[in-house]
Structure 1
């Protein structure tokens, strides 16, 4: 769950406060994860004003390097027309050359204006005077990228709010295929929700294979399972499929997935508490099912073998990027790496 300032405000808390009509005069939404920034700004723009009020009282300013801070301040200082509030949404505020000058407005903002500042791909230095000034009168929300271990919870929670269920394998398929792009993930989940909404209300691997394009039998999730179970035949079949379908299954993605898995496995080997709960804490995972693969993998791969595997994965990654590789294809490099892991 994305968090904000030192008070630890979350995305859901910001939305619930707006739903209760507990508006603040200034919202600073900043960070590397654009998904939550867009969701909050859109929610405020869509819900504070009625449709009739929006015509005169909703302003959206898209910033470029030429945009003057005075343009924003002048818009914020206007009074609403036939409405209690006006909403001013400032998009792409990271392009402003002098965003700190907003401090002069924030010191004494209008109660009738709701100013929403969207600052993406980074944050404003909290040591400078603008951020503390906004914290005094409004909301500072920092939208951080989710960790890989949090993506599964994002998927299940998103679908749960829509009344749709999903099984563990389907969650892993989506996470492996889409990754950490939450805007794309949300779009795919919306599509899947519509597809299953009139029938089973459950997303399955078959539904994903048919509508998203990832194979339910030949994907990174299945390759990882085959490696954990030391199923050489199954692993080789998947690697062969990947080689024949490189566009949909790029080797660099598979290598990155395996590097993350075996790096976590090394942490698991040295965890003082190797129970499921202990590994959840060690690996920063929320549920026991997420660590069960690591419990099984610790039986298949010793700590020393895990260390050697990590070194091999790094070597393969370098060769995929052209370092020390004269002629081997991505498929050959992947096959060689998987052979090393399983032997």
Structure 2
């Protein structure tokens, strides 16, 4: 069964599970991947297929992150129950391929590892993989191992209630063990982040963006995304001539570049999206990743494409875009957004 939902000379959209769809695509056919997978335990995107239960029931896995990702481990009399998610109203079985509702954090990390292994196959040798992840706090002693602490004789690693879980770095280090090279851990600072009701900690106003590559030689051109130089001092005061201390560089250096490297802290405000999608990142973020990390005329992939913000940036920069999502209505949102955007005036390659 074909997963293709839409295609034109600059865009290709697929409906289905990220790993399943990527498995059908040719190797080394992508130059740049920019994506933001669903966060563990945060949202249910309503992609489940329900089996059994009451036909008229408005099925739900629960209202809290802990409820949505938990499964029963024991049945009546202590017997082992099926580790399947059930509707909390009628008991219908949920069969769902969406990411983020795994029972344990380790399952989530390993699932992203499986998707990243497929990304490695699709990515060209000099390609770049930009992975946006946010952190979260533990609810009710969240489990990180294959089992959770549920009784005598059964134990698993847990993150205690209210603790920051370190999700981005858990994923990044897992990918590093798979062979990925972590070239940057960019902090995306959100100046206009939503108000945080917590009073016993400071508000979280950042997410992580990891730049991952397959080999030491790869395509990133930071000169494409330079920031303006400070104009506070005259040019002659910006010249560096070295110092007199031991081991100090003695050769002169003068800032002749039209701008400066943006560094690894990106301050980008979120932008509201009136359509029904929960968490789009601002176009500034994928735009910078693609501009620096994808050659002209290259192919961009987002395996968790959502409302198509990566596609919008790719269109503006004249790159071919391929998006994958479980929900076709999110592709409809993306197509409406793309319809109002004009591609760059360059020749685009045919899709592989």
Q: What TM-score do the two structures reach when normalised by structure 1?
A: 0.23
Q: Point out the structure with the larger helix share.
A: 1
Higher gyration radius (CA): 1
Q: What TM-score do the two structures reach when normalised by structure 2?
A: 0.23
Point out which structure has higher relative CO (alpha carbons under 8 A, 6+ apart): 2
Q: Point out the structure with the larger strand share.
A: 2
